[in-house]
Structures are given as structure tokens and as C-alpha cells.
């Protein structure tokens, strides 16, 4: 479909709807809205105009205008996405929710908070901490990302084993539909089977089915005690086989079970000048248990630690205070940075497989890395089978060679994931980056259902077009 | 060899908020940890024990809750812990603290080497270690960055100075205060934690120690904290905007003129 252009007249109408200061088209100012956290040189695309609405009403007006003129609209949160979801592939209008960043209500009786989509996620935790509450579904980038983006991607993070992901905490929302209607979905209720669960359809739809303008978020009691275990294993198999045992035999659901393979452990420890005896380690697990009482948390940590030792762990370290916890988590947090020193050109992946399949996946990844002479460290959330396997360019190869290798290696990785019953994205989304693999990986039935929904809700295909799949 | 490591439990200060009215720290909900610089002393003591045999005892003066710091030290690999705790010790300055710790160390028994952290992150004085050495009349090396060798009756160390390193040989018993460079502290292990939970930690009170009441606590301290102030920063900057060659020359000329008035050049 040929889209309409953002003409002088369209700009005039946008200014009339939004006001002068919420519309700009200076290329220098728009540059930062042309990419997210995916590599700029591969995925950048400039918008024709950027708008910063302040109300749902304004957004509704803009959507009506966009439908009339057939101009694509790309909604955007903080731009911290890892799949190119907020990049305006076809130019058009980039709609940034950055000015809709208010907390509308804190409802302690219902343990809920009502916020606008441009609020930085971690601000919720800062506001409700003194009442002993927190938003449990946040992703790792909580200090920069926006609530709106979290909902659009159904973001998850390091605590998903116990607390799940963003979607589980969104009980209601206000949206502007692709055709410009303001619609309320769900509410301040925990149970709701009153018709189709449309709010769940919106969650994770990557801004292709509408724009969230208000979110009702369920809060949880903030754990008072936290203990971490850093466990060294000789190889991947023993580490991974311990994971389900912790939950089944140990009877404990940890907050996090993070896995790091040998390459990740060694590179991160080297980078941090961390002198743990990691040289012997073929893999590492980082576990967190939390609760209301320190004694209970310590007991749980001990049960888990003993299970690890029984299962052949080399050593179990216990971190139960700020100093040691910072130290063990910094190994996990610095893996990506550590590999950037080796080569800044990477493809950060987000595969997810059944927990029991992780051990079987590792040798397949090793084969792919060897075949293409690249590094492929794997680390991530072992407790939910979600791994951030990363393709790291060999510094010796040219960029042309790298792009070719990246595509081939990704295809082989995704095929391996599929053969083990997994999917290609657990929490980062498909966006622009992974859409070309969708038709091969998902069945025709599922793809038809998705396309039918998209066509029905957005007949002109102007709402974040070119994301997840092409129509 | 018998090693003693005096440690201090301090508030975890990297996330701490200050009360703007009083200029003091808001202690509510602040976690207590081993003084981070003491971890290096604990580590080198454990390493010396592993190489030369013997025993490491961690000792701390503080409230009963300081027991947690001692158990963390034992979990890392210290053999024993001693808590020196009594209401009468409360408010002690560095001199009075050292006085009581010396009495406690004497009670623990024969000692070959006392190793302390460079300073505590809360008081920031770095005086207690040297004070203990003075009171016990022990040879002292501060800012020790490496232990080069241990003999029957002496220890050879390197100490960090402003110009470089100094190599010293001290007869034993002696006291060292150490800097970060000396070691990489190990993490407590599960087995260490389990051992620490079972270890009996004796508490020395006034009644257990041969101390004079007049030297204890706030009353027995020769120094006082009279006032805590946040220093005012009066540094004002000047920004030169350089757009072309002319403005560049102007900026450089002004900078040179300024440095001349300050006699920097």
C-alpha cells in the first residue's frame, strides 16, 4: 500500500490538534526518534514528523486524521526496545508518549496504581515503596523504560520465575484504537471473563492494534528479605538439570534463576576484574529468593544451595547483604558490556525454550558458533527458559560478511529453537527485527488468525505498520 | 600464627539519604554491613592462615547486632569471632575504642599479627588501627599493599606511599592496616555460612575486661563531635563559548591570564 505523505497541510492540522510545541520536524531533533536499542546502521528509519500528545483525545484526533490521509503512525515509549518496535519504518507520524507521564491515582485499598503510558517504570516503585508495595512485572531496563512500552512488548525481566511478566499486572487500560476511538478495557478488578479478554490482546501487540493511554496496574507486597546464591558448576548440564529440581524437589519458587554459560562467565569476570575462582567453572547459576522474613529466606537459600551441591556444584556462594549482592549481580549485568569490548557488532537474541530443553540447545548453539566462526554466549533467565543468546561478530570479518553470517546463523538458531518446542522471543518482541522469520516458524493457521485480527482493527494498516509480520 | 582482625559494622552508605536539616544520615531502614575496607584485611588474614597455618579471629566492638558482621567474617573463612559489647562502651571515640579493643585482644590470648582495614567508611578517621598498635607498643605499618613474606619472628610488607612503595620488615607481633590493593575479598560460601551459624561467639562486657570505667564510652572519650557541617562548595565555573578562531584565542588568553593570577604558570 502506498502511504500518504506528511504535507504542510497535515502539519497544520497536527498543530491545530496538539499545539505548536507538541509537533516538530527538524531532522536533527527527530534523529533520536529514528532508532531504538537495535543497531542503528541496520534498523534506523526517520519519521516525517514527531508529535508529543498530552491527552487521549488528541491521539484520537490524530488517528482519525491519519486514517483519512493514510499516514502511518508509530507509537513510541522510551525507545529502549530491542526489536525495532518503535522505529517508524514507513516514515509518517512518530507518536511519542513522553509527555503523558503522570501518576493519575494510587489506590491503596485495591493495591493498584493508575498511570499514563510515558511514566518511567521504576518511578512506580519509588512512589509505593514506603507503603511496602511494588510493581512486580518490571523488566531489567526499569530505570529508563516507560510503562506504555512495557505493555506493548509484554516486557519481562529477572524476576519472572516467581512474579511473571508485565501483562499479569495490567488489570485495565484505556486505549485509542487505530480508527481513533477511546475505549476502556478491563478495570480495577482481578477476575473478568466478561467477553473476549481484549486487554490481553493489546498486551504484547507491539503498538500494532492501538495506543495505551492509561494503565491500571496491580501492585504486590514488597519482599522484606532477599538472599542471593551464586553457584559455580563444571558444565552446562549439571547447572541446567538442577533448575527444575529446585522447584520440584526443593518446593521453592525462587525470584530469579539466571544462567550464564562458560563464555559469558569468563568474559564478564575478566571484564570486571572479578577474582572469584571462575576458571574452573563451565557455567554459573545466580539465584534469588525473597520473602517477608530473613530466617525463612535463609532457610530456602540453604535448601537450594544443598540441592546444588548434591547435584555436583563446585561451590555455592551466599550473598545476603548489599555489598555481596551488588557484586554477584554485576557479573550478570555486565555480560553484554563485556562483549562490546570484544566486538561492538552483535545480535542480542531472546529465544525461549522449555526449561528442560536448555541443556540440549547448548551444543547446537556451539555448533552454529563454530560453523560461522563467531562467538555465541548464552545467558539469561534459566528459570523460565528465556535465554539472551547473542551473536557476536568476529572482529576479523567485514561488515558485509557479518550481515550475511548474522542472517544465516540466526536462521539456524531459530530452527534449533523451533525443533526443541521453543519460540524466538520471550520478552523483547518481534518488531522489525524478527518479522521475516515469523511465517516459517509459526503455522499458517496462527499467522492467518493474527493477520485477520490486524485487518479487522486497522483496515488501513496505519497503526505501527510493518511490525511483527507484513500483511 | 595467630591473626586478629578488628572489624567494624557500618551502615551501607551507597544508597543513603542525608537529612538536609541536621546534616546527618537518615539511618531508618539502612542495612548494616562489614566496613567494606575491612574485607581486604579479612581476606589477607585468611590467605596467611592458609599458607602458614594458625587461626584468624575477628573482633568487633558494637551493639549486640554486630554479631551479624562477625558471622559474615566467619562465613568467609575466619575461625572465630569475639563481640565486645556493653552499654558503657556506647559513644566511644577512636581512642576509647582502641583502648577497649586492646583489652579484648589481650584477653583473646597470644597474637602474632593484627590486620585492620585502612579506615571505616562511616567515621573515616583511620585512627583505631594505629591507636591499637600504640597502646600495645607494637610495630606498625599503615597502607600495606602486599605481604611479601612471613618468617618465624618477622613479616615483610610493602606499603603504599605518595611517592611509590616502601618495603618494611617488622618484628612480630605487629599491626598492619591494609589498602584495597592487597587482596580480592572472597565471597562467603554456603558451607561457611552454615559453620558461622553454629559457631559460638563470646561477648566481652565491661565485667569481662580489665578496663577503667573513666576511659569508657562517650564520657571516657577525650575527643568530641561538636558539630557536623556539610562544606559549602564555592567553586564557580566560567564557560567560554568557542565558535571561531578569534573566540578560541580569546578563551585561551583568558585562561592563561587567570592561571597567571593564581601563580599556576
Provide the β-strand partners of residue A194: none
* Nearest by Cα to A231 from A145, A162, A331, A154: A331
Instruction: Work out the minimum CA distance from B183 to partner chain A, whole angstroms.
Output: 9
Provide the β-strand partners of residue A121: none
In chain A, which residues have their Cβ closer than 8 Å to the Cβ of B190? 229, 301-302, 305-306, 309, 316-318
The residue of chain B nearest to residue A314, with distances taken between CA atoms, is: B189
Residue A167 CA to residue A113 CA, distance in Å, equals: 15
Where do the H-state alpha helices sit in B28-167? 38-52, 67-76, 94-108, 128-136
Residue A255 CA to residue A384 CA, distance in Å, equals: 11
* Nearest by Cα to A81 from A177, A152, A138, A30: A152
Instruction: Work out the minimum CA distance from B60 to partner chain A, whole angstroms.
Output: 18
Of B33, B186, B191, the CB nearest to A321: B33
Provide the β-strand partners of residue A227: A289
The pLDDT score that the predictor gives to residue A431 is: 95
Give the pLDDT confidence of A394-436 residue by residue, as tens digits. Answer: 999 999 999 999 999 999 999 999 999 999 999 999 999 999 9
Q: Give the list of residues 6+ apart from residue A15 with CB closer than 8 angstroms, or none.
A: A23
Q: Are A426 and A350 in contact (CB under 8 A)?
A: yes
Put simply, whether A299 touches B (Cβ < 8 Å) is: no
Query: A253 in the Ramachandran plot: left (φ > 0), alpha (ψ -120 to 50) or beta?
Result: beta
The residue of chain A nearest to residue B39, with distances taken between CA atoms, is: A323
Most A CBs within 10 A among B46, B72, B190, B192, hence the mutation to make, goes to B190
Mean pLDDT, rounded, for A175-190? 96
Chain centre to alpha carbon of residue B60: 11
Most A CBs within 10 A among B189, B193, B196, B197, hence the mutation to make, goes to B193
Mean pLDDT, rounded, for B75-80? 97
Residue A116 CA to residue A178 CA, distance in Å, equals: 18
Cell numbers given for B207: 565485667
Residue A48 CA to residue A439 CA, distance in Å, equals: 30
Residue B35 CA to residue A323 CA, distance in Å, equals: 10
Q: Are B21 and B72 in contact (CB under 8 A)?
A: no
Residue A23 CA to residue B175 CA, distance in Å, equals: 69
The residue of chain B nearest to residue A309, with distances taken between CA atoms, is: B190
Put simply, whether A319 touches B (Cβ < 8 Å) is: yes
Of B34, B75, B190, the CB nearest to A302: B190
Residue A402 CA to residue A386 CA, distance in Å, equals: 25
The CA radius of gyration of chain A, in Å to the nearest whole number, is: 23
The pLDDT score that the predictor gives to residue A204 is: 97
Taking the domains of chain B in order of start, what are their residue ranges? 2-215, 233-265
Domain limits, CATH 3.30.70.2190, in chain A? 225-335
Most B CBs within 10 A among A316, A325, A329, hence the mutation to make, goes to A316
Residue B66 has pLDDT above 70, yes or no: yes
Fold classification of B2-215 is Rossmann fold (3.40.50)
Flag if A318 and B188 touch (Cβ within 8 Å): yes
The residue of chain B nearest to residue A307, with distances taken between CA atoms, is: B190
The pLDDT score that the predictor gives to residue B14 is: 74
Position with higher pLDDT, A271 vs A158: A271
Q: By a Cβ cutoff of 8 Å, what residues of chain B touch chain A? A: 12, 14-15, 31, 33-34, 36, 39, 72, 75, 184, 186-194
The pLDDT score that the predictor gives to residue B124 is: 85
Of A275, A306, A322, the CB nearest to B33: A322
A358-417 residues touching B, CB cutoff 8 A: none
Q: Identify the residue whose cell numbers are 566462526.
A: A373
Residue A363 CA to residue A372 CA, distance in Å, equals: 14
In chain A, which residues have their Cβ closer than 8 Å to the Cβ of B37? none
User: How does residue B23 score in pLDDT terms, banded at 50, 70 and 90?
Assistant: low
Q: Which CATH architecture has domain A225-335?
A: 2-Layer Sandwich (3.30)
Flag if A230 and B12 touch (Cβ within 8 Å): no
Q: Are A305 and A319 in contact (CB under 8 A)?
A: no
Domain limits, CATH 3.30.465.10, in chain A? 103-221
Chain centre to alpha carbon of residue B100: 16
What's the half-sphere exposure (Cβ side, CA atoms, 13 Å) at A36?
A: 27
**Sign of the Cα pseudo-torsion (A154, A158, A163, A169, in order):** negative
Cell numbers given for A244: 527444575
Specify the pTM. 0.86
Flag if B190 and A306 touch (Cβ within 8 Å): yes
Chain centre to alpha carbon of residue A194: 29
Calculate what percentage of chain A has a pLDDT beyond 70. 100
* Pick among 3.30.470.10, 3.20.20.70, 3.30.70.3460, 3.30.70.2740: CATH of A343-433: 3.30.70.2740
Put simply, whether A250 touches B (Cβ < 8 Å) is: no
**For residue B164, what are the CA distances in angstroms to A69, A290, B159, B178?**
73, 47, 8, 15
Provide the β-strand partners of residue A363: none
What's the half-sphere exposure (Cβ side, CA atoms, 13 Å) at B76?
A: 32
Instruction: Work out the minimum CA distance from B69 to partner chain A, whole angstroms.
Output: 10
Give the pLDDT confidence of A366-400 residue by residue, as tens digits. Answer: 999 999 999 999 999 988 899 999 999 999 999 99
* Pick among 3.30.465.10, 1.10.3720.10, 2.60.120.380, 3.30.56.10: CATH of A103-221: 3.30.465.10
ipTM surpasses cut 0.90 = no
Chain centre to alpha carbon of residue A303: 31
Provide the β-strand partners of residue A291: A225
The pLDDT score that the predictor gives to residue A124 is: 95
Q: Are A46 and A88 in contact (CB under 8 A)?
A: yes
Flag if B187 and A321 touch (Cβ within 8 Å): no
Instruction: Work out the minimum CA distance from B198 to partner chain A, whole angstroms.
Output: 14
Amino acid at each position: 500500500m502506498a502511504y500518504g505523505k506528511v504535507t504542510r497541510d497535515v502539519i497544520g492540522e497536527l498543530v491545530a490538534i496538539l499545539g505548536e510545541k507538541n509537533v516538530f520536524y527538524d531532522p536533527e531533533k527527530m534523529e533520536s526518534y529514528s532508532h531504538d536499542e537495535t543497531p542503528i546502521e541496520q534498523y534506523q528509519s526517520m519519521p516525517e514528523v514527531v508529535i508529543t500528545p498530552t491527552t487521549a483525545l488528541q491521539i484520537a484526533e490524530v488517528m482519525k486524521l491519519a486514517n483519512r490521509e493514510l499516514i502511518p503512525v508509530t507509537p513510541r515509549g522510551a525507545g529502549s526496545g530491542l526489536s525495532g518496535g518503535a522505529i517508524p519504518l514507513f516514515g509518517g507520524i512518530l507518536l511519542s508518549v513522553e509527555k503523558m507521564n503522570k501518576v493519575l491515582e494510587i489506590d491503596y485499598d485495591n493495591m493498584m496504581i493508575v498511570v499514563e503510558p510515558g511514566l518511567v517504570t521504576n518511578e512506580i516503585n519509588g512512589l509505593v515503596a514506603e507503603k511496602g508495595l511494588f510493581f512486580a512485572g518490571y523488566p531489567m531496563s526499569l530505570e529508563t523504560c516507560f510503562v506504555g512500552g512495557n505493555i506493548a512488548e509484554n516486557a519481562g525481566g529477572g524476576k519472572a520465575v516467581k512474579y511473571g511478566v508485565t501483562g499479569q499486572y495490567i488489570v485495565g487500560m484505556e486505549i485509542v484504537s487505530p480508527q481513533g476511538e477511546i475505549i476502556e478495557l478491563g478495570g480495577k478488578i482481578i477476575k473478568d471473563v466478561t467477553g473476549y479478554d481484549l486487554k490481553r490482546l493489546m498486551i504484547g501487540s507491539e503498538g500494532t492494534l492501538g495506543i495505551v493511554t492509561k494503565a491500571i496496574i496491580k501492585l504486590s507486597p514488597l519482599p522484606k528479605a532477599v538472599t542471593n546464591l551464586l553457584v559455580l558448576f563444571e558444565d552446562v548440564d549439571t547447572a541446567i538439570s538442577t533448575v527444575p529440581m529446585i522447584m520440584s524437589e526443593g518446593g521453592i519458587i525462587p525470584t530469579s534463576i539466571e544462567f550464564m554459560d562458560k563464555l559469558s562467565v569468563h568474559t564478564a569476570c575478566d571484564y570486571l576484574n572479578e577474582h572469584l575462582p571462575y576458571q574452573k567453572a563451565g557455567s554459573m547459576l545466580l539465584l534469588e529468593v525473597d520473602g517477608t522474613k530473613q530466617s525463612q529466606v535463609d532457610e530456602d537459600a540453604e535448601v537450594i544451595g544443598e540441592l546444588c551441591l548434591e547435584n555436583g556444584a563446585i561451590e555455592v556462594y551466599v550473598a545476603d547483604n548489599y555489598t555481596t549482592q551488588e557484586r554477584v549481580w554485576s557479573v550478570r549485568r555486565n555480560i553484554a558490556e563485556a562483549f562490546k569490548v570484544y566486538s561492538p557488532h552483535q545480535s542480542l537474541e531472546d529465544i525461549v525454550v522449555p526449561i528442560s530443553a536448555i541443556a540440549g540447545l547448548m551444543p547446537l548453539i556451539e555448533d552454529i558458533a563454530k560453523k560461522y566462526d563467531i562467538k555465541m554466549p548464552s545467558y539469561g533467565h534459566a528459570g523460565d527458559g528465556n535465554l539472551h543468546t547473542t551473536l557476536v561478530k568476529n572482529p576479523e570479518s567485514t561488515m558485509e560478511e557479518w550481515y550475511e553470517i548474522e542472517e544465516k546463523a540466526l536462521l539456524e538458531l531459530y530452527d534449533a529453537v523451533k525443533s526443541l518446542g521453543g519460540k524466538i522471543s520471550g520478552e523483547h518482541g518481534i518488531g522489525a527485527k524478527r518479522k521475516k522469520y515469523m511465517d516459517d516458524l509459526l503455522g499458517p493457521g496462527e499467522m492467518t488468525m493474527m493477520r485477520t485480527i490486524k485487518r479487522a482493527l486497522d483496515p488501513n494498516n496505519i497503526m505501527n505498520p510493518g511490525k511483527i509480520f507484513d500483511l | 600464627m595467630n591473626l586478629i582482625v578488628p572489624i567494624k559494622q557500618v551502615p551501607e552508605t551507597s544508597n543513603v539519604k542525608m537529612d538536609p536539616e541536621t546534616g546527618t544520615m537518615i539511618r531508618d531502614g539502612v542495612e548494616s554491613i562489614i566496613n567494606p575496607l575491612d574485607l581486604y584485611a579479612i581476606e589477607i588474614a585468611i590467605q596467611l592462615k592458609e599458607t602458614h597455618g594458625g587461626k584468624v579471629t575477628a573482633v568487633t566492638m558494637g551493639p549486640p547486632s554486630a554479631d551479624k558482621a562477625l558471622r559474615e567474617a566467619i562465613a568467609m573463612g575466619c575461625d572465630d569471632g569475639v563481640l565486645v559489647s556493653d552499654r558503657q562502651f556506647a559513644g566511644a571515640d577512636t581512642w576509647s575504642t582502641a583502648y577497649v579493643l586492646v583489652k579484648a585482644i589481650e584477653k583473646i590470648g597470644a597474637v602474632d599479627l593484627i590486620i585492620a582495614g585502612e579506615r571505616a567508611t562511616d567515621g573515616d578517621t583511620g585512627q583505631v588501627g594505629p591507636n591499637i598498635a600504640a597502646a600495645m607498643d607494637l610495630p606498625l605499618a599503615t597502607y600495606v599493599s602486599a605481604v611479601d613474606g612471613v618468617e618465624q619472628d618477622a613479616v615483610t610488607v610493602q606499603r603504599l606511599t605518595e611517592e611509590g612503595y616502601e618495603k618494611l620488615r617488622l618484628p612480630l607481633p605487629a599491626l598492619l592496616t591494609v589498602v584495597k590493593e592487597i587482596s580480592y575479598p572472597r565471597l562467603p560460601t554456603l558451607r561457611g555460612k552454615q559453620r558461622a551459624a553454629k559457631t559460638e561467639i563470646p561477648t566481652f562486657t565491661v565485667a569481662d575486661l580489665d578496663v577503667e570505667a573513666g576511659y569508657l564510652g562517650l564520657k571516657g572519650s577525650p575527643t568530641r563531635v561538636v558539630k557536623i557541617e556539610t562544606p559549602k562548595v564555592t567553586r564557580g565555573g566560567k564557560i567560554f563559548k568557542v565558535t571561531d578562531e578569534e573566540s578560541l584565542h580569546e578563551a585561551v588568553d583568558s585562561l592563561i591570564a587567570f592561571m597567571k593570577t593564581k601563580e599556576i604558570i
